[in-house]
Amino acid sequence: MSSESRSRRYPITQYQNGSDVPSEDSVAVEEPLQITLDGHPIAVVMRTPCDDLDLVRGFLLTEAILPDLDGVMRIDVDQNKNHALVFLKDDVTVDFQRHQRNLYSASSCGICGKATIDSIRQDHPKLGGASTVCSKVLLSLPDRLRDAQRVFNKTGGLHAAGLFSNDGTLLVLREDVGRHNAIDKVLGYAAQQTICLSEVILQVSGRVSFEVMQKAHALGVPIVSAISAPTSLAVEFAQESGQTLIGFLRPPRFNCYAGSERVS
């Protein structure tokens, strides 16, 4: 989908220096997407309508609905109706009661639709591995991420998530009105392309919440880096999960809240 279809132009009145002038502005598109799994509606996410296949794949994995994509027979996305239909292979079973969300997932919220506290925490092993990153590479990531944000440059209204190799090479970037959606999109793409996620850095344009760390951990991403602040639960989760958490990445400095042994 082109960047033009991810934004819309609206007539506005611009006020500046005591005067008002008719003008136009580009606004990021936000629309619902209903995800249905073998006939069972499991979520409605408010998203920017692009890279929907990546979004659905990532959502199924980061929410621990499926352990991998091997059980998916096909995914049909109807963007006119904002429906994503996921069809599973015959031998795949899913606990729909455990995973079904209440109402919808807003673009700004990843876990607010979940029904119980127990469903928030997922059971994943502690991450190990010897993946490391040079501090100079980390300091280069905000500019590299921003340079690739085509729709943000037009609208100023989208979050971004990018997967980088440890030498700073951009592997994939996705934009969305919801930061959780942007993360699902890059992780869904990476899973489909069988990118080795134990040797990448997840760079995000905003803050880091508990669920950002959990989504990364679900697919084995060891390093999460953010331009803005982490939350207390994000820090505690990173300490428990064995992940590296970088916050306030604003050259020439950054804070490492957990897993400093991976930063050289």
Q: What is the largest CA-CA distance in the chain?
A: 67
The strand pairing partners of 8, in sequence order, are 27
- Residue 69: enclosing H or E segment and its boundaries? none
Tokens representing residue 50 in the block: 């692009």
Active-site hit among 109, 112, 134, 196: 109
Number of neighbouring beta carbons within 10 Å of residue 197:
19
Q: How far from chain centre, in Å, is Cα 79?
A: 20
**DSSP-based three-state secondary structure for 134:** coil
Query: Could you confirm whether 112 is annotated as catalytic?
Result: no
- Residue 123: enclosing H or E segment and its boundaries? none
- Residue 40: enclosing H or E segment and its boundaries? strand 40-47
Residues with active-site annotation:
109
